[in-house]
């Protein structure tokens, strides 16, 4: 699942391949923008904002995309075979003389004026990997609704941008609280640490090909044997702290993992 660190990696990959170069091919395969042609425009740059991607072009245009659950951008050398999926899943093709960027299964793809970018990202809270990161604002946002479940509050991009389901589960484990505990029941020092840990985890993983959270502390890292995550994807396997089997529940196609011994609070 793409989260803030993955989206940033995608933005950097696209920017490296396309940034500063002139488009030789522009093919947006969504009905609303099927006739739009960016050929001949210089790519000014590609940046990430939370889980959103913004590709900016000469002439004041921005291509906004969001990966959600299954979307992906793949970059290929000129003449290289595309391997991201069948042709009917392609939503965008942007090519220069050297590289081709292909967007697969993109649930959100829209062309807008660069001056209007705030219409699609202005609602986001502080970006955990952005220059606008503000831990105090993020904490205030999380605590604004004390009755809201921790997991829901962390996933709400209006509070802080970049956390997805993997980090939500891992952060709740680190806070020793289930995702269903109301934010108001989390002691303020732990809530504060939750925000700083979120930033630490995404920063640590921004350049890693494989996401890991278990190296957050040296003491914990020494006890692990190749495990990258504490709870996510480990249903039925022993907790890395207490050996209790990790539990899993699925709601709205979203899996949630937690340790029933280490994490206190409601369980769904």
Catalytic residue among 182, 254, 255, 260: 254
Structure confidence at residue 1 as a pLDDT band (50, 70, 90): low
- pLDDT tens-digit series, residues 161-219: 999 999 999 999 999 999 999 999 999 999 999 999 999 999 999 888 788 898 754 44
DSSP state of 149: B
Helix (H, G, I), strand (E, B) or coil at 49: strand
- pLDDT tens-digit series, residues 52-92: 999 999 999 999 999 988 899 999 999 899 999 999 999 99
Catalytic residue among 2, 56, 74, 234: 2
For residue 41, the model assigns a pLDDT of 98
For residue 268, the model assigns a pLDDT of 78
Query: Which of 3-7, 32-36, 40-44, 120-124 is the least confident region?
Result: 3-7
Task: Identify whether 3 is a catalytic site residue.
Answer: yes
Task: Identify whether 254 is a catalytic site residue.
Answer: yes
Asked whether the beta carbons of 22 and 85 are under 8 A apart, the reply is no
Going by C-alpha positions, the residue among 25, 111, 26 that lies closest to residue 61 is 111
Structure confidence at residue 220 as a pLDDT band (50, 70, 90): very low
Query: Which of 53-62, 148-157, 194-203, 246-255 is the least confident region?
Result: 246-255
Catalytic residue among 51, 56, 234, 247: 51
Q: How far is C-alpha 121 from the geometric centre of its chain's CA atoms?
A: 14
Burial of 234 from C-beta contacts in 10 A (0-12 / 13-18 / 19+): buried
**Percentage of residues of the chain with pLDDT beyond 90:** 87
Mean pLDDT over all residues of the chain? 93
**CA–CA dist 21, 99 (Å, integer):** 10
Tokens representing 251?
């709601």
For residue 171, the model assigns a pLDDT of 97
Asked whether the beta carbons of 61 and 36 are under 8 A apart, the reply is no
Query: Is the pLDDT score of 37 beyond 50?
Result: yes
Query: Which of 14-18, 132-136, 212-216 is the least confident region?
Result: 212-216
Range 24-48 average pLDDT: 97
């Amino acid at each position: 699942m793409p989260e803030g660190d993955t989206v940033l990696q995608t933005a950097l990959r696209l920017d490296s391949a396309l940034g500063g170069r002139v488009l030789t091919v522009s093919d947006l395969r969504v009905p609303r923008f099927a006739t739009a042609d960016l050929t001949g425009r210089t790519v000014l740059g590609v940046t990430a904002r939370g889980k959103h991607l913004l590709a900016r072009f000469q002439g004041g245009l921005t291509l906004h995309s969001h990966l959600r659950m299954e979307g992906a951008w793949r970059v290929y050398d000129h003449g290289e075979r595309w391997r991201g999926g069948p042709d009917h899943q392609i939503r965008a093709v942007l090519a220069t003389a050297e590289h081709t960027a292909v967007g697969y299964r993109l649930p959100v793809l829209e062309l807008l004026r660069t001056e209007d970018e705030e219409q699609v990202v202005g609602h986001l809270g502080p970006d955990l990997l952005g220059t606008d990161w503000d831990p105090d604002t993020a904490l205030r946002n999380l605590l604004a609704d004390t009755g809201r479940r921790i997991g829901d509050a962390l996933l709400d991009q209006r509070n802080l941008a970049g956390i997805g389901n993997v980090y939500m589960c891992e952060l709740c484990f680190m806070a020793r609280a289930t995702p269903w505990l109301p934010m108001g029941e989390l002691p303020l020092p732990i809530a504060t640490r939750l925000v700083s840990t979120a930033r630490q985890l995404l920063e640590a993983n921004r350049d890693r090909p494989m996401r890991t959270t278990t190296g957050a502390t040296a003491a914990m890292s020494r006890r692990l044997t190749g495990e990258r995550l504490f709870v996510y994807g480990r249903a039925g396997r022993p907790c890395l702290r207490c050996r209790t089997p990790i539990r899993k529940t699925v709601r709205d196609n979203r899996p949630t993992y937690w340790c029933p011994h280490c994490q206190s609070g409601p369980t769904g």
